[in-house]
């Protein structure tokens, strides 16, 4: 199992448990995540959830690059295994708090974009490597644009691996709602989730649904364009693989630029 769950006092802690792969998501993990959210829909003893990553080095680094995802030849069809990994994609309206330690990048925004709010350690960093490796940041950019000022989302999506959004700056622009000491994000998020779990659950879930409704129409329209943008703008898989294979690494993190990434 690559997703662990622990429940107590109305709160479930959901942990991505692939620390050796920076909690990157393979097909099995994607299925497990979707299964967890669907199960929580029917578990009335659980009234809130916290999502985090194991190991402390990364919350999640998106799709595992070793995964082979066959694609149809039609430019109007794209198979994306990450589309169903989030709680809202599985019709879960119990509140979910993301607890971020270390890196959160690329496909991690599928998860961050469906959390109610983010708690992050002071050493957390956010980035989106898509453009560096010849890929369109479509779904990720839409999720970021709904949680960040447009200019900040554009900078993060367009600069690729040359950019790191630090936790302090993420807090200043509203992506992160609370900063913690390194190693304490999950603990703090669990305390906040306990408060949510203590409220009348019908009122809490209705409020989650109301908040989501406020942005759902624009989000749905934007995401509808994503498959075609990806099909038209992505480099062929072999050229993507060549760029990824030639990347530089700094401090064990994906790179691709000649100098260190800019951290804000």
What pLDDT band is residue 121 in, cutting at 50, 70 and 90? very high
The model's pLDDT over 38-47, given as tens digits with 9 standing for 90+, comes to 999 999 999 9
Percent of the chain past pLDDT 90, that is, above it, reads 74
Task: Give the H/E segment covering residue 210.
Answer: helix 201-224
- pLDDT at site 11: 98
Mean of pLDDT values over 22-38: 97
Q: Is the pLDDT of residue 76 over 80?
A: no
Report all structural domains of the chain as residue ranges with CATH numbers, in order of start. Answer: 3-65+79-180+224-251 (3.90.226.10)
Specify whether the CB–CB gap between 179 and 124 falls below 8 A. Answer: no
What pLDDT band is residue 79 in, cutting at 50, 70 and 90? confident
The closest of 146, 106, 107, 140 to 229, measured between CA atoms, is 140
Choose between 212 and 230: higher pLDDT: 212
The model's pLDDT over 174-198, given as tens digits with 9 standing for 90+, comes to 999 999 999 999 999 999 999 999 9
HSE of 164, CA atoms in CB hemisphere, 13 A: 20
Q: Is the pLDDT of residue 119 over 90?
A: yes
Mean of pLDDT values over 238-247: 83
Which residues make Cβ contacts (< 8 Å) with residue 118, sequence separation at least 6?
97, 98, 99, 100, 112, 170, 175, 176, 177, 178
The model's pLDDT over 149-176, given as tens digits with 9 standing for 90+, comes to 999 999 999 999 999 999 999 999 999 9
The model's pLDDT over 196-216, given as tens digits with 9 standing for 90+, comes to 999 999 999 999 999 999 888
Q: In this structure, what token pair is assigned to residue 95? A: 């509140």
Q: Is the pLDDT of residue 255 over 50?
A: no
Choose between 67 and 210: higher pLDDT: 210
What pLDDT band is residue 248 in, cutting at 50, 70 and 90? low
What pLDDT band is residue 253 in, cutting at 50, 70 and 90? very low
- pLDDT at site 259: 60
User: What is the per-residue DSSP string for 103-143?
Assistant: EEETTHHHHHTTSSEEEEETT-EEE--GGGGT----HHHHH
Q: Which residues pair with 98 in a beta bridge?
A: 51, 118
CA distance 209 to 83: 19
């Amino acid at each position: 199992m690559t997703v662990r769950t622990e429940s107590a006092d109305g709160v479930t802690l959901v942990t991505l448990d692939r620390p050796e792969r920076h909690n990157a998501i393979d097909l099995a993990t994607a299925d497990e995540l979707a299964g967890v959210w669907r199960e929580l829909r029917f578990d009335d003893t659980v009234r809130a959830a916290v999502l985090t990553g194991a190991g402390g080095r990364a919350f999640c680094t998106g799709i595992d690059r070793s995964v082979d995802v066959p694609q149809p030849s039609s430019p109007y069809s794209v198979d994306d295994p990450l589309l169903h990994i989030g709680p809202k994609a599985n019709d879960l309206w119990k509140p979910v708090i993301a607890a971020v330690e270390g890196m959160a990048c690329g496909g991690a925004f599928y998860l961050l974009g469906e959390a109610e709010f983010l708690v992050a350690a002071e050493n957390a960093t956010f980035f989106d490597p898509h453009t560096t490796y010849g890929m369109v940041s479509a779904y990720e950019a839409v999720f970021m644009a709904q949680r960040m000022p447009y200019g900040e989302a554009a900078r993060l999506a367009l600069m690729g691996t040359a950019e790191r959004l630090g936790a302090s700056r993420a807090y200043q622009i509203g992506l992160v709602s609370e900063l913690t000491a390194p190693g304490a994000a999950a603990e703090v998020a669990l305390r906040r989730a306990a408060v949510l779990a203590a409220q009348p659950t019908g009122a809490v879930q209705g409020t989650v649904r109301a908040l989501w409704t406020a942005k759902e129409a624009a989000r749905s329209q934007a995401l509808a364009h994503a498959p075609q943008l990806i099909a038209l703008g992505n480099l062929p898989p072999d050229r993507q693989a060549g760029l990824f294979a030639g990347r530089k690494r700094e401090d064990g993190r994906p790179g691709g630029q000649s100098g260190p990434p800019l951290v804000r």
